[in-house]
Structure 1
Amino acid sequence: MKTRTMTALGAAAAIMAVGGVVKADDPVNMTVVSWGGAYTESQQRAYHDPYMEANPHVTIINDDGSANALAGLRAQAQAGNVTWDLVDMLPSDAQLACDEGIIMPIDHDAMLAPAPDGTPASEDFLPGSLGECFIPQIVYSTVLTVNHEQFPDDKQPTTIEHLFDVENYPGRRALQDRPGTNLEWALYADGVPIEDIYDVLATPEGVDRAFAKLDTIKEHIVFWTEGAQAPQLLADGEVAFATGYNGRMFAASEVEGQPFDIIWDGQIVEWDGWVVPADGENVDQVMDYLYFATDTQRLADQAKYISYGPARASSAPLVSTHADLGIEMGPHMPTNPDNYYAPIVLNNDFWADYGDELRERFANWMLQ
């Protein structure tokens, strides 16, 4: 596998060196795996549609499988049948996949467009966002959101601590069925300073402390798996609190008019981006697409449709108003100063080191 992967990498680098142009006459069906919902729609409008317009031989097929992307990539690699061409993935999972050799390493400056002023991609993408096999698209956050109609006007939840206060803030809580975010918030609500959360969570005592805090609300929890489920549970009144991605909560509140309030306290800030499966059938076309879809303008364009910040510094000044609503998008970004007052920056190294163990324990805890 490694020899074929590096051969494909060299070919892709050569393509990028001459401006990211792939000549092709035969139709190409390119399967792009992402998260579905408002997020995939933003990719469709900002990236896929303009790329297909410029490359009519290409058809992009969306697959909403990113929630289980690592398992899917592993299964395809083991079967020797790689059917995905491009995958939207979290950095911690991308690092694991990279270490396992099931996704391609990326030479960012050779394969990605420079900024308009000539700044190389490696210097234009936000510090710490690039990975050996990972190309970031967005800065997003997982946030706590409430349906404010379920609480009195003078007693609205405003902090992560309120998520764990079922006496004063009753109602069911919708949490994602994975340890990330839940364990960090449990320690934060239990009084651990933000800067110490991962040091504490790296100890057996810290893990026990986090699960003990989660035990205090367990009988009130509804677990969700797919990103679309969280805002739907909140809109249907099945829960009073829901964790979820800030872009989905923005879409539900601002686009659909749901009575939601985002609580920015303790937002879990993270990158999200692309990985290229090793031994895919359309690597050259995928690299051409990535050169286009990760340039300065395209990353700024995505912010017209969803409230995620672009991962390039040169894209930020180009973020303006929502394409359909006409509202300024800046105040809805997780990195807006009014929102970024108590962020927990997700530690991908921690989750790469401890993720498998904690996922197993969390899965067993959910079943208890």
Structure 2
Amino acid sequence: MKIKTALLASALTSVGFAAQAAEVTVMSWGGAYTKSQVEAYHKPFTAETGIKINSVDADNPATPIKAQVEAGNVSIDVADVEFSDAVRLCDEGLLEEIDSSILPAAPDGTPAADDFIEGALQDCAVANIVWSTVMAYNTENNATAPDSIDDFFNIADYPGKRGLRKSAKATLEMALMADGVPAGDVYDVLDTDEGVDRAFAKLDSIKSDIVWWEAGAQPPQLLADGEVVMSTAYNGRIFNAAVGEGQPLEIVWDGQILDFDLFVVPKGAPNKDAALQFISFSTDTQRLADQASWISYGPARKSSGALVGTYSDGKTEMAPHMPTAEANLGNALVNNFEFWVDKDAELNERFNAWLAN
């Protein structure tokens, strides 16, 4: 009995040391967004569990997953990806499934499955934020303040360079809205050859004035440096530059495109159990509310909303800066992830061909 007890104690001690020694590699998008995750998720998780977080960044964390899984050499445990990428990667069998029953209930006992915003829980993914692609401008470089997505394409009244993400997604939708397509009809129009032609024709009207960006940190810098007078951008990056750094940047919410970012675990992740533990911890009600104090992205849980307070400066109320604030939803488009799962390859091929001409 003493021998068995000793062996059991030794085994438990080994497990404890293994847990303490475990590390989780989390890949995200960098800049102010990664900082918000480090402060709200990484540091508290390590403090509570002893598990170290290795934080790495990419222009798009979905990109390396396919190559790593197919090569059987996975180094990422958790990745923060866009909605359509999460669904596509899951459909291709490149992600681990995540049972929503591992996620903590809301403070009032509401199960996680009922507390997350509709669509935020997928077979292989758990959303953490609602964000949007918006149009932004530098107040010092525009004699008249633009106030609609139409103005982005109005070179005559608003001369100067425009910053656009080097991707079909969001770019084509904004082009159609600027061309007069109601937000609710955008995907029906874009699902036709004529609609695609219409979007590219609108882009042709400003093609010579476009400065392309690929990383989220670029648009605020382009605007601050005066290299462009307007740019599409992630709303949280503009908020951070304006409120966090004092840059003279403003968001135009008209024509914004709402989306989720979600946590996924690549198939064959070396630390799968610890990765799921991290996701469960980071998407509880309080952690999601905590992240919103660092960047203006809305929490993916309903119960987090009431806990969102001020920015980390202690004075800026965050609610009006959220893409989901009622005043900001007047002409908003919700990203149709099913459309982009089906059309991503086709439209990006057309987009790249257009760029090359």
TM-score, normalization by structure 1: 0.91
1:120 matched to which residue of 2?
A: 111
What does residue 73 of structure 1 align with? 65
Give, in angstroms, the shift of residue 24 of structure 1: 3.6
- Alpha-carbon contact 2:62-2:79 (below 8 Å) kept: no
C-alpha contact (below 8 Å) 2:213/2:219 kept by paired residues: yes
Q: Which structure 2 residues correspond to residues 74-153 of structure 1 after superposition, within 5 A?
A: 74-108=66-100, 110-152=101-143
Whether the aligned pair in 1 keeps the contact of 2:29 and 2:60 (CA below 8 Å) is no
Tell me the secondary structure at the aligned position of residue 349 of structure 2: helix
How big is each residue's C-alpha offset from its partner over 1:40-64, in whole Å with a ceiling of 9 and x where there is no partner? 00000000001111122x2211111
Q: Which residue of 2 aligns with 1:190?
A: 179
Distance of 1:270 and 1:201 partners within structure 2? 18
Cα contact 1:255–1:325 (8 A) shared by 2: no
2:32 corresponds to 1:45: no
Partners in 1 of 2:326 and 2:19 — Cα distance?
A: 48
Alpha-carbon shift at residue 194 of structure 1 (Å): 1.1
Q: Secondary structure at the residue paired with 1:362?
A: helix
Q: Does 1:267 align with 2:256?
A: yes
For 2:280 and 2:72, the matched residues in 1 are separated by 27
Paired with 2:324 and 2:351, the residues of 1 have a C-alpha distance of 29
Gaps of 5+ in 1: 1-20
Which whole-Å deviations, capped at 9, do the CAs of 1:144-166 have from their partners, x for residues lacking one?
A: 000111122xx211110000000
1:233 aligned counterpart, secondary structure = helix
1:15 equivalent in structure 2: none
The Cα shift of 1:22 comes to 8.5
Residue 356 of structure 1, CA deviation: 0.9
The answer (yes or no) to whether the contact 2:86–2:262 under 8 Å persists in 1 is: no
Which letter does structure 2 place at the counterpart of 1:42? Answer: S
Is the CA contact 1:265–1:342 (under 8 Å) kept in the aligned structure 2? Answer: yes
In the TM superposition, what whole-angstrom CA distance separates every residue of 1:68-104 from its partner, at most 9, and x where no partner exists? 3333111001111011000000110111100111101
Distance 1:318 1:256 in 2: 24
How many residue pairs match? The answer is 343
Matched residue SS, 2:62: helix
For the residue of structure 2 that corresponds to 1:178, the secondary structure is coil
Q: Is the 8 A contact 1:69 1:89 kept in 2?
A: yes
The residue that corresponds to 1:281 in the other structure is 270
Q: Specify the alignment match of 2:4 in structure 1.
A: none
Q: Which residue of 1 aligns with 2:5?
A: none
Residue 318 (str. 1) matches residue 307 (str. 2): yes
Aligned-residue RMSD, C-alpha: 1.4
Q: Is contact 2:129–2:299 with CA below 8 Å preserved after alignment?
A: yes
Instruction: Verify: 1:336 aligned to 2:336, yes or no.
Output: no
Match of 2:25 among 31, 35, 40: 31
Structure 1 residue 367, shift from structure 2 partner: 1.9
TM-score, normalisation: structure 2: 0.94
Q: Give the Å deviation of 1:273.
A: 1.3
Identity %, equivalent residues: 51
1:227 aligned to 2:216?
yes
Amino acid at match of 1:133: C
Q: Does the CA contact (< 8 Å) of 2:149 and 2:174 recur in 1? A: yes
Q: Which amino acid aligns with 1:241?
A: M
Residue 250 of structure 1, aligned match among 231, 239, 255: 239
Larger Rg: 2
What is the CA-CA distance between 1:302 and the residue it aligns to? 0.4
Structure 2: gaps (5+ residues): 1-14
CA distance in 1, matches of 2:274, 2:66: 22
Q: What does residue 295 of structure 1 align with?
A: 284
Q: Does the 8 Å contact 1:320/1:328 carry over to 2?
A: yes
Q: 1:175 aligned to 2:164?
A: yes
Native 8 Å contact 1:22 1:288 kept in 2: no
Aligned to 1:52, what secondary structure does the other structure show? helix
> What's 2:53 paired with?
60
Deviating beyond 6 angstroms after TM superposition, the runs of 4 or more aligned structure 1 residues are: none
| C-alpha distance in structure 2 between counterparts of 1:55 and 1:318, whole Å | 24
Q: Give yes or no for the alignment of 1:352 onto 2:341.
A: yes
User: What SS is found at the alignment partner of 2:61?
Assistant: helix
Contact 1:22 1:284 in 2 (8 A): no
Q: 1:25–1:354: structure 2 CA closer, same or farther, 3 Å change rule?
A: closer
Q: Distance in 2 between matches of 1:121 and 1:29?
A: 26
Q: 1:205 aligns with which of 194, 210, 213?
A: 194
1:166 maps to which of 155, 158, 179: 155
